Structure 1
Amino acid sequence: MPLVTKSLHGKTGILTFSNPAQRNCLSQEMVEALVGGFDDFEEDRVYAVILRAEPGVKVWSAGHNIKELPDGRRDPLNYYDSLEVLLRRVQDFPYPVIAMVEGTVWGGACDLCISCDMIVCAESSTFAITPAKLGLPYNASGVVHFLNVLGPKIAKEMFFTAKPISAQQAHNVSMVNHVIPAPELESFTLALADSITVNAPLAIRAIKHQFRLLLKGSPLAAETFEEIQGLRRRVYDSEDYHEGVLSFKEKRPPNFTGK
């Protein structure tokens, strides 16, 4: 059975996670299927994309497949990591991408959601960014995504505590566009996509690209990027990072020592 299924609703493409047994984790195989879906939709001149899980799931996506992370001494979230490739593909897709969320969203899947242009979620949805639970040094581009969407105070709380926030909390801080009762989630999101696809596609494409460029903001000094990379390397070379990944694989609480 495919990990991702594709369908069309008028000029809207729909990509559906179809691996609930693995909590729709963003494995390399899953990511390749999603990227391929976006490639197909761009070629087919689809003017909006909905990213969703199957109806009724408890976990929209558990995020990165922890079993695929390196044990240490190598950057776990480098520029060519499969999840990073997917996030850029979503951001660079010429037309709006809507995350339609039902269930819980963890880790890198939370980054995937905010990389979409809009988020519509069910009332029971929750969002958590969890690298601190694994001793994982999140990368600069991911942190910037959260800063742009949430601002520093809420982003810091989510990263530092690794606790989930509710759909209503996410709406209050403008992380999500709409919170909808689960039975109405699909119809509402399809209607939202329809309201996009009836507009002039060239104008929508140009406007999305402008948002992408303008949100990049002012360039940082080269030394700043070098400092960030140095900080991250100290983490992924640490005993704590190795312990975080190992404890997840062994299904036990981590014993972090700060070393």
Structure 2
Amino acid sequence: MTPEQGQLPSLVLEGERATITLRRPRHHNRLEPPDLTELLRLFRTVEEAPDLRVLVLTGTGASFSAGFHIGAFGEGAGAATLEAVVEALERLRVPTICALNGSVYGGATDLALACDFRLGVEGMRLVMPAARLGLHYYPSGMHRFVSRLGLATAKRLFLLAEPLDTAGLLACGYLDEAVPAAELPARTAAMAARLAEHAPLAVQGMKQALNDIACGRAEDAAIGARAAAVSRSEDFAEGRRAWAEKRPPRFSGR
């Protein structure tokens, strides 16, 4: 393995939890074209692992990510794009947590936003410099910012390129929580454990429905059909038994 290969994102599987880590701390986890290809591969691995119930995405060093390398724009015809990577992340069946170990910039802001939950560290900030670089952002990312954070916040970020500090990120809903850096691993583990203990068919079905509702592509008939299927599952029967017996449920994903 070359040093460059060693800096590609890594995947660790621990029981029902998967963790993907960005590993270019010297460059603030800047995303290079090979990273995008590797992230797509790792997402496929997560999607194809039936026993996984939660994915954590995080980084190494002082920043979560500096975004896509501006000098690599236009390289590699047919190569993976950041938009494709972010869309693949959002479509994953398992719930996802972005543990932002530091500040986030550029395209990496959308990578984090595609996760279901975002935990950050006190003192971090977000900067979207597209307008300062003469860059027009891709459409699905702009849809995501408007649907998740609202039009006014999206305009502040994209048109003014205005940085948001930790308080601002909490106020607009970009961050669900901010904790001291030393507490981030434990808080992430606690949230991941809570997601993993819930019925996976219900969690995954409702995740898909909520994302579809947020972006205006929801079909009530399809949501209703999934809900009906879950109501016939072994997990729902186990949930009812556990409730009646006043004990924790033991879900199997069936």
User: What band does the TM-score fall into relative to the shorter chain?
Assistant: 0.7 to 0.9
Q: Which runs of 5+ in 1 are unaligned?
A: 72-77, 220-259
**8 Å contact kept, 2:8–2:38:** yes
Q: Which residue of 1 aligns with 2:171?
A: 172
Matching residue of 1:33: 38
Contact 2:31 2:66 survives alignment (8 Å): yes
Aligned to 1:44: 49
* Percent pairwise identity: 27
For structure 2, which runs of at least 5 residues remain unmatched after alignment? 1-5, 219-254
**In the alignment, is the contact (CA less than 8 A) between 1:101 and 1:122 conserved in 2?**
yes
How many residue pairs get matched? 211
Off by >2 Å, runs of 4+ in structure 1: 78-81
Aligned position for 2:146: 147
Deviation digits for residues 152-190 of structure 1, max 9, x if unmatched?
A: 111111112213211221111111111111110011011
Q: Does residue 23 of structure 1 match 2:28?
A: yes
Structure 2 counterparts to residues 154-165 of structure 1, below 5 A: 154-165=153-164
- Give distance in 2, aligned partners of 1:218 and 1:85: 18
Pair 13,106 (structure 1): closer, same or farther in 2 beyond 3 Å: same
What value does the CA root-mean-square deviation take over the aligned residues?
2.0
Q: How high is the TM-score relative to the length of structure 1?
A: 0.77
Counterpart residue type for residue 149 of structure 1: R
Note the C-alpha offset of 1:9.
3.4
In structure 2, how many angstroms separate the alpha carbons of the residues matched to 1:98 and 1:116? 6
* Mapping 1:81-92, distance limit 5 Å: 82-92=81-91
Q: Is the alpha carbon distance of 1:12 and 1:195 closer, same or farther for their aligned partners in structure 2, counting shifts above 3 Å?
A: same
Asked if residue 200 in structure 1 is aligned to residue 205 in structure 2, the reply is no
Matched, 1:62 2:73: no
* Counterpart-to-counterpart distance in 2, 1:149 and 1:80: 28
Q: What is the TM-score of this pair, normalised by structure 2?
A: 0.78
**Larger RCO (CA within 8 A; separation ≥ 6):** 1
